[in-house]
Amino acid sequence: MIVIVIGVTGCGKTTVGAMLAQDCGWDFHDADDFHPAKNVAKMKNGAPLNDEDRWPWLERLNTFLAESEREGKSLVLACSALKQVYRDRLARGCAAARFVFLDGDKELIRARLLARQGHYMNPKLLASQFAILERPQDALRLDIAESPAELVRSIKKGLEV
């Protein structure tokens, strides 16, 4: 199974995804690690990525996921995947892909971003992320007001892991 934990910056994708992967004995990957340096620099400077920036990144991620599936590897990927077209590109050809959408209140997420240390994502980009967010219809939707441990339990139950 490939579980893709999605949502806006600061919603807890990495925290919850890493906990889920550890709990299941699977590998965890953060899509941020697949960004080229120019994308990271752009976000660090407070400029949102555009589709031209995202397509090569999504292709790289899709190739990685497809190879993992062919090799029979289960894993968790944390990835924003804010639009349906991004999710379609990400999971293209991956029958084992399941999406988990971490949804939450914008003010709660803003507070988390402001408290976060050592991450390159500029908190000013939160508004642009909510502006393009297309809430998925085909994902397990969870409210981030729950604790990370409770979210992991809900994911395992909802996806029958």
pLDDT for res 119: 54
Residues 83-118: tens digit of each pLDDT: 999 999 999 999 999 999 999 998 888 888 777 665
What does the alpha-carbon distance between residue 134 and residue 24 come to, in Å, rounded to a whole number?
29
Q: What is the pTM of this model?
A: 0.91
pLDDT for res 49: 84
Q: In what order do the strands lie in the sheet with 2-6?
A: 27-30, 75-78, 2-6, 97-103, 140-143
Rounded to an integer, the average pLDDT of 20-42 is 95
The fold for domain 2-158 equals Rossmann fold (3.40.50)
Every domain of the chain and the residues it spans: 2-158
Dmax over Cα atoms in the chain, in whole Å? 41
In 16-158, beta strands by DSSP E: 27-30, 75-78, 97-103, 140-143
Residues 34-83: tens digit of each pLDDT: 999 999 888 888 788 899 999 999 999 999 999 999 999 999 999 999 99
Residues 140-150: tens digit of each pLDDT: 999 999 999 99
Q: How confident is the model at residue 9 (pLDDT cuts 50, 70, 90)?
A: confident
- 28 forms beta bridges with 76
8 Å CB contact between 135 and 143: no
pLDDT for res 123: 59
